[in-house]
């Protein structure tokens, strides 16, 4: 006689035994650590003279595609900063151009801390 195994009401279900992980929103809003490569790059981009990709590569030991990915993924999308560029003496110089000095947009400040 074959019987299917049924869970009793007292057995924990799969969802109850899982560890609750923070949502993506909570991970984005986590506190920033000082002295990180991200903070170094943002500091370079906030300078009035800006920074070149080569300078950021040297400061962080990142490759060129990683620096460009950081610009797109972190600076523009996650932090919602405006990143401008201009050619100076044949080199492309990047700089945060938002009027608020590079602070995150007001949309982020309205969110509750994690």
Count the domains in the chain: 1
Pairwise CA distance, residues 46 & 42, whole Å: 6
Pairwise CA distance, residues 69 & 82, whole Å: 15
More confident site: 23 or 77: 77
Enter the DSSP assignment of 30: S
Q: Do residues 63 and 57 make contact, with C-beta atoms less than 8 angstroms apart?
A: yes
Single pTM value for the model: 0.59
pLDDT of residue 27: 52
Provide Rg for the chain, Cα atoms.
22
pLDDT of residue 77: 94
What is the domain range of residue 69?
34-109
Residue positions counted in the chain:
114
pLDDT tens per residue, range 26-83: 555 556 678 899 999 999 999 999 999 999 999 999 999 999 999 999 999 999 999 9
Residue 24: inside a domain: no
Beta carbons within 10 angstroms of residue 80's beta carbon: 14
What is the CATH number for 48?
1.10.10.10
């Amino acid at each position: 006689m074959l019987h299917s195994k049924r869970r009793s009401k007292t057995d924990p279900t799969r969802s109850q035994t899982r560890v609750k992980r923070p949502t993506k929103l909570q991970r984005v809003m986590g506190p920033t650590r000082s002295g990180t490569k991200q903070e170094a790059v943002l500091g370079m981009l906030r300078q009035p003279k800006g920074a070149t990709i080569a300078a950021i590569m040297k400061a962080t030991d990142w490759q060129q595609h990683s620096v460009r990915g950081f610009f797109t993924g972190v600076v523009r999308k996650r932090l919602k900063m405006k990143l401008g560029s201009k050619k100076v003496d044949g080199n492309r110089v990047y700089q945060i151009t938002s009027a608020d000095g590079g602070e995150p947009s007001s949309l982020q400040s309205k969110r509750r801390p994690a």
